[in-house]
Structure 1
Amino acid sequence: MDTLTGGEAVVAQLEREGVDVAFGIPGVHTLEIYDALLDSGIDHVTTRHEQGAGFGADGYARATGRVGVCFVITGPGLTNVATAVGQAYSDSSPMLVISTTNATNEADRGKGHLHELKDQQGVMESIAAESYHVDRVADVPEAIADAFDYLDRHRPRPVHVQIPTDVLERAEPVELVDRTPATPPGPDTERVETATEMLADAERPLLVVGGGTVDAADSMRAFVDETEMPVITTAAGKGVVPADHDCCVATALGHEPAAEFVASRDLVLAVGTELSAQDTGDTPLPDELIHVDIDPTDIGNNHETAMGIVGDAGATLDALTERVSERRLSFDGPAEAADAGPEPLSIGVEDDRLHLLAVLREALDDDAVVVNDMTKVSYAARTRFPTGAPRSFLFPRGFGTLGFSAPAAFGAAIGTDRQVVSLVGDGGSLFTIGDLATAVQYDLGVPIVLCNDDSYDILEDVQRRDYGRTMATDIENPDFVEMAESFGAAARRIEFEDAADELPDALTAAFDRDRPTLIEVPVEF
């Protein structure tokens, strides 16, 4: 047992958990942690805004499958990161937020201490999956270990640990926790057997592959190869079954060709997806719905379920594969996929958004990580952009925040050696433009493809449709190329009509640089 300050205990336990990088901004309340980081093996990424720290940790987590860690100060640091926490919660991304709070017996009392926030833990309890408060130095390791244990056992969502400033400063004997990673729950054997019987009775089944399967791609592909069931992935599940697989009908729900195919099915097996209202609100699912998810609250939440199986996606798929193999169940996925689904992307397509996406797809590696924002071209990408590997299409789909793309792409690039590209609009880019400086500082060769229409155009479309006039959607933008260059980034402007000829070479050059590249494409989608 060693004598450590609270700050040293934070860092030492994070190292025990295998954390190798953290995101944040030092503040007067977190300096004990930052001093301890100097003597650790944990790399720190200093962002320019706590929202960028949160998005960076989220992007790191989505691209790698490891927990994204960020440090924030009491009060404004925590409220600044709240949007990123909300996004990570909505999209099931594993994040650990470690914040300070005012000194023991002084927090939440309204005395006017620096950074004081009324009921700070209550703020995080309302948006994170779990929030832990620590009152003793000796309890710091256990609180952090409990947070990681929660992430092992449950649907991956952000968790929060809150430590008073005086606890960080105080030195006490501390015993670090040597934790054995928890095993997520396996499936109920009887329910797996019943599900197998239901599949055997089905004539036209469909497999819906969700984001909860991204770490079970081998198990999922084994099941598909065994059964040859037709497949539709959700946006979060893109790449688990590659878009070019013989059984893949579509790479997202929520659009007409996919909905038509679902309507023709007599059974759906949905694995690792909440079947959210955004994905399936207008998609009629058959009565014979088998829903597999690690979160019991998801089952039957949006669609009535004939059979629910609570358990880890990989373990459940392995059990199902064994049963269907014994029964020699096989379906007509390859033939049905060939006759259904949307048209493949092609550069000659009339839709300008699909044209740009086709240029991107041909220019990128098959496993490149495409990090989207809430913008028109990304809305099209959700349903039409094909991917060949899991964790390669990141989209702020649930919470739907602007400003996610660039800092999440920077976090992804820190965690992976794959190509990483940010796809963003002019409006969303300015939400988190400050973290372009972060990418310059850390030599991140990430291209940022910025589609600029000088407006909040999609809102203009809705206003014109519903009200016949527009309000508050025209925006005055900076010169994005000059602005990016002022940060120290590379930058260029490519006219839309030249994108097919110039964008591939621009992307290749961007990946070869040790700094980010902003590529502005003026558009009129």
Structure 2
Amino acid sequence: MSTLKAGQATVQSLRDHGVDTIFGIISSHTMEIFDALYDYRDTIRFISSRHEHAAAMMADSYARVTGKPGVCLTSTGPGAANSMGGMGEAYFASSPILNITSTAEEPLYERGLGTIHETKDQLSMFHSVTQSSCHISQPGEVPVRIQEAFQKFQTRRPQPIAIEIPVDIQGQAAEMELPTISRAVPPGADPDLVNQATSLLLAGKRVGVFAGTGVHRSGATGELTRLVETLGLPVFTTPNGKGSVAEDNPLCLGMYGGEYHFPPGELPDPRPGFMNSLDTLLVVGTSLSHFRAKSQGLEQPPHLIHLDIDPESLDRWYDTSVALVGDAATVLAQLNTAIGGRTAQLESGFAGEVRQARENIAAYKRTTMPNETKVMEAIRQVAARDAIFVGDVAVCVHRGSNYCLESYGQRTYMTPAWGGLGFALPAAAGAKAGLPDQQVICLTGDGGFQFNIQELGTCVEYRLNPVVIVFNDNAWGLLRYFQKTRNSGRCIASDLRGPNFAKLAESYGANGTQVSSLADLVAALKSALQSDTLTVIDVQTPDGFAAFI
């Protein structure tokens, strides 16, 4: 037994669970936690963001690239509310972040007496963007609740958890026993269902895989690659599933479907036709949502094997033949063991069709998005193979990197799952904090960049050096494109006036440069990747991203 203040128990429990980085902003309501953090400053790095929205996104991206839960510290009322956008993104991206926040003193909690930062039912606010949230009433609850959070991250769909600790409870001491730390075993699937799925995979004549976010959250790329190479199965991915199998693997057919009716053009998209020709589809780590599947023309497969850690993700739009509920890496390992190196009974000529489909998809992208393809290929050639790419809600992502930029490894590509602007810069900072020795390249537009532009200061202060490429068309480019193509050119509220981003970066102590051609962009990117300071590359695209070359 130890006598600890709740603030001390918070920090010690986090450290016991392997936390080495925390994002957030100090507050008068969290002084006890920060005082405890002072004693751990050699083992826990605190990164002070300029806004709680960004802090939550940094914790999110840290979790996505490291495979460990991200942690952010916010404060009562406005601070907690400011984090909601980042929490919502993490919720819909299945990203494990722990938001530890404060609330009014316990005797004043939820009494409506007008205490500072008083919030009406703060926990209910968090309920909409967390898998669970709780209130601490006694100091001894802290280590128990933190341990419960980390166990949930390991055994459930990894979504955010919020813990609120009243400002007075943080400073109260009590005798408490810190729980023994043990890593929970990720759940596997029912062995009988694994055998059923194996039989379908081996018996199918036209079998394929659709891989999503869950592959990366589970660290399952190795097991998935082993399975598809053993059986010779083609793989499509969602945007955040990119890299589940390296995109230069002959079996990888890239991202399935379009976004916001991209790409344009009169040519038929070869992907839906090929996907819908399959008689057996193994879906791994994606819920087959309306946006990613149903609206993209995915039809009901004759045999659907759906693997997901969350049973609520199954049987929404499509009927499942075999439901494999469990951790992706664990269940794929079960399947690989059950397959035992056996050969799939694919129809004659199917392997040739896969090769042809890959060629057709590449040709389709080059025809419908010629400049976008050239830009993304040029960026890809300069970057390291294990470079991490972070995208925003921007034309350069929805009509660029999602389609045309290859991802080769586990946890090396991320975009907003919830579709909110402002993700890319703080996410790039969080990724660099988690994996400082890997290149991190941020792809954003001028609109999204300005949502969290203040985090340039965070990056400079903490020596986080992603490369930020801003494709700058002085517009909400995606929306202006819609107005031109859908609303007969009736453009309103889609123009933007921004600062000189290169000079703004320099004012923060970062590097800044402005370019107007692909050749200049490539040269600037090469230089930026050698710098130990963040670099903003302001790419002038006055005629839009599609016209840039």
Secondary structure of the residue that 1:339 maps to in structure 2?
A: helix
Q: Residue type of the partner of 2:477?
A: D
- The corresponding residue for 1:279 is 292
Q: Is the 8 A contact 1:233 1:252 kept in 2?
A: yes
Q: Is the 8 A contact 2:441 2:466 kept in 1?
A: yes
Q: Distance in 1 between matches of 2:368 and 2:69?
A: 40
Give the share of equivalent positions with the same residue, in percent: 35
Structure 1 segment 20-419 matched on structure 2, within 5 A: 20-40=20-40, 41-214=43-216, 215-254=219-258, 256-281=269-294, 282=296, 283-325=298-340, 327-329=342-344, 331=346, 334-341=351-358, 342-343=361-362, 351-380=370-399, 381-397=401-417, 399-416=418-435, 417-419=437-439
Q: Residue type of the partner of 2:391?
A: N
Q: Distance in 2 between matches of 1:70 and 1:418?
A: 22
Matched, 1:488 2:488: no
Q: Distance in 2 between matches of 1:350 and 1:223?
A: 32
Cα deviation for residue 373 of structure 1 reads 0.2
- The corresponding residue for 2:4 is 4
Cα deviation for residue 429 of structure 1 reads 0.5
Q: CA-to-partner distance for each residue in 1:347-369, whole Å, 9 max, x for gaps?
A: 99963322221211111111110
Q: Distance in 2 between matches of 1:274 and 1:348?
A: 31
Q: Is the 8 A contact 2:204 2:345 kept in 1?
A: no
Secondary structure of the residue that 2:90 maps to in structure 1?
A: helix
Q: Residue type of the partner of 1:17?
A: H
Please say which of residues 458-467 and 17-26 is displaced more in the overlay.
458-467
Q: Is the 8 A contact 1:13 1:141 kept in 2?
A: yes
Q: 1:75 to 1:378 in 2, by over 3 A?
A: same
Cα deviation for residue 329 of structure 1 reads 2.4
Q: Is the 8 A contact 2:194 2:324 kept in 1?
A: yes
Q: Distance in 2 between matches of 1:367 and 1:336?
A: 30
Q: Distance in 1 between matches of 2:199 and 2:511?
A: 58
Cα deviation for residue 157 of structure 1 reads 0.8
Cα deviation for residue 56 of structure 1 reads 0.7
Q: Is the 8 A contact 1:262 1:285 kept in 2?
A: no
Q: CA-to-partner distance for each residue in 1:319-338, whole Å, 9 max, x for gaps?
A: 21222236432547753332
Structure 1: unaligned runs, 5 residues or longer = none
Q: Distance in 2 between matches of 1:58 and 1:475?
A: 28
Q: CA-to-partner distance for each residue in 1:352-395, whole Å, 9 max, x for gaps?
A: 32222121111111111000000001012223321110111110
Q: Distance in 2 between matches of 1:415 and 1:4?
A: 29
Q: 1:337 to 1:326 in 2, by over 3 A?
A: closer
Q: Residue type of the partner of 1:88?
A: A
Q: Distance in 2 between matches of 1:421 and 1:193?
A: 42
- TM-score for both structures, normalised by structure 2: 0.91
Cα deviation for residue 346 of structure 1 reads 9.5
Q: Is the 8 A contact 1:11 1:36 kept in 2?
A: yes
Cα deviation for residue 231 of structure 1 reads 1.3
Q: Distance in 1 between matches of 2:394 and 2:45?
A: 32
Cα deviation for residue 52 of structure 1 reads 1.0
Secondary structure of the residue that 1:161 maps to in structure 2?
A: strand
Cα deviation for residue 465 of structure 1 reads 3.7
Secondary structure of the residue that 2:307 maps to in structure 1?
A: strand
Q: Residue type of the partner of 1:442?
A: Y
- The corresponding residue for 2:529 is 511
Cα deviation for residue 302 of structure 1 reads 2.6
Cα deviation for residue 276 of structure 1 reads 1.8
Please say which of residues 458-467 and 138-147 is displaced more in the overlay.
458-467
RMSD: 1.8
Q: Distance in 2 between matches of 1:334 and 1:77?
A: 55
Q: Distance in 1 between matches of 2:369 and 2:257?
A: 22
Please say which of residues 275-284 and 60-69 is displaced more in the overlay.
275-284
Q: Distance in 2 between matches of 1:383 and 1:482?
A: 31
Q: Distance in 1 between matches of 2:86 and 2:190?
A: 35
